[in-house]
Chains A and B, each alone.
Chain A
Amino acid sequence: MIVFDNVSKFYGEVLGVNRVTLQIGPGITSLVGPNGSGKTTLMNLVTGLLRPTRGRLSVLGIEPDRPELLMKKVGYCTQYDAFPPGLTGYEFVLSTLRLHGLTDADARTKAQAAIAKVGLQEAAGRRVAGYSKGMRQRIRLAQAIAHEPEVVVLDEPLNGLDPMARAETIALFEQLAKEGKYVLLSSHILHEVDLLSDRVVLVHHGYVVAEGEIPGVREEIHERPAQILLRCDRPSLVASRIFELDSAVEIKIHEDHKGLLIHTRDAEKFYLLVNRLVMEHELELEAVSPADEDVQAVYRYLIESDGGQPS
Chain B
Amino acid sequence: MNPEIVRQVLAVQRLEFRKRFLGKRAIPVYLLALIPLALFGGRALVMFLFPSTNDFSLAQDRVAYAVIYRTLILRFVVFFGCVAIFVPLFRGDILDRSMHYYFLAPIKRTTLTLAKYFSGLLAALFLFNAVTLATWCFLYLAGGPGVLLDQLGSLHGLSELASYLLVTSLACIGYGAVFLAAGVLLKNPIVPAVAILGWESINALLPAVLKKISVIHYLESLLPVSIPQTSSIQILADPASPWVAIPGILALAIVLVTIAMRRVKRLEILYGVE
Contacts and interface: CB of A to CB of B under 8 A. Distances in A.
B is bound to A? yes
Interface of A: 11, 44, 47-51, 67-72, 75-76, 78, 80-87, 95-96, 98-103
23 contacts: A11-B270, A49-B269, A50-B269, A67-B106, A68-B106, A68-B107, A69-B106, A71-B104, A71-B105, A75-B104, A80-B271, A83-B101, A85-B18, A85-B23, A85-B96, A86-B18, A86-B23, A95-B14, A96-B101, A98-B10, A99-B101, A99-B102, A101-B8
Contacts of A70: 106
A85 B25 CA distance: 10
A87 B11 CA distance: 14
B23 A100 contact: no
A51 B18 contact: no
Nearest to A104: B7
Contacts of A95: 11, 14-15
A86 B8 contact: no
Interface in B96-154: 96-98, 100-109, 111
Nearest to B11: A98
A102 to B, nearest CB: 7
A102 B105 CA distance: 11
Contacts of B107: 67-68, 71, 99, 101
A120 B4 CA distance: 28
Given A11-B273, A80-B271, A98-B8, 12 more contacts: A50-B270, A67-B108, A70-B106, A72-B106, A85-B24, A86-B22, A95-B11, A98-B10, A99-B15, A99-B101, A101-B107, A103-B7
A67 B268 contact: no
Contacts of A11: 270, 273
Given A70-B106, A82-B98, A86-B23, A44 B7 contact: no
Interface residues of B, dominant DSSP: helix
Which 5 pairs between the two chains have the least Cβ-Cβ distance? A98-B11, A101-B4, A99-B105, A82-B97, A71-B106
B106 A49 contact: no
Interface string B16-47: 00110011100000000000000000000000
Nearest to B24: A85
A75 B19 CA distance: 25
B106 A50 contact: no
B12 interface: yes
B106 A101 contact: yes
Contacts of A50: 268-270
A96 B101 CA distance: 7
B104 A47 contact: yes
A84 B105 CA distance: 14
B101 A49 contact: no
Contacts of B195: none
A96 B98 contact: no
Interface string B82-108: 000000000000001110111111111
B105 to A, nearest CB: 4
B98 A101 contact: no
Contacts of A72: 106
A24 B24 CA distance: 43
Given A70-B106, A100-B105, A83 B98 contact: yes
B210 interface: no
A146 to B, nearest CB: 11
B273 to A, nearest CB: 7
A78 B100 contact: yes
Contacts of A47: 104
The listed residue with most A CB atoms (<10 A of its CB), out of B14, B15, B108, B271, is B15
B206 to A, nearest CB: 39
A75 B22 CA distance: 29
Interface in B32-90: none
Nearest to A85: B23
Contacts of B7: 98, 101-103
A80 B8 contact: no
A76 B104 contact: yes
Contacts of B102: 99
A49 B22 CA distance: 28
B8 A100 contact: yes
A72 B5 CA distance: 13
Contacts of B5: 101
A68 B7 CA distance: 14
Contacts of B105: 67, 71, 96, 99-100
A49 B103 contact: yes
A84 B108 contact: no
Contacts of B266: 51
Contacts of A102: 7
A71 B5 CA distance: 14
Contacts of B101: 83-84, 96, 99
A32 B101 CA distance: 25
Contacts of B269: 44, 49-50
A148 B215 CA distance: 48
Contacts of B108: 67-68
Contacts of A67: 103-109
A67 B107 CA distance: 6
Contacts of B109: 67
Contacts of B98: 80, 82-84
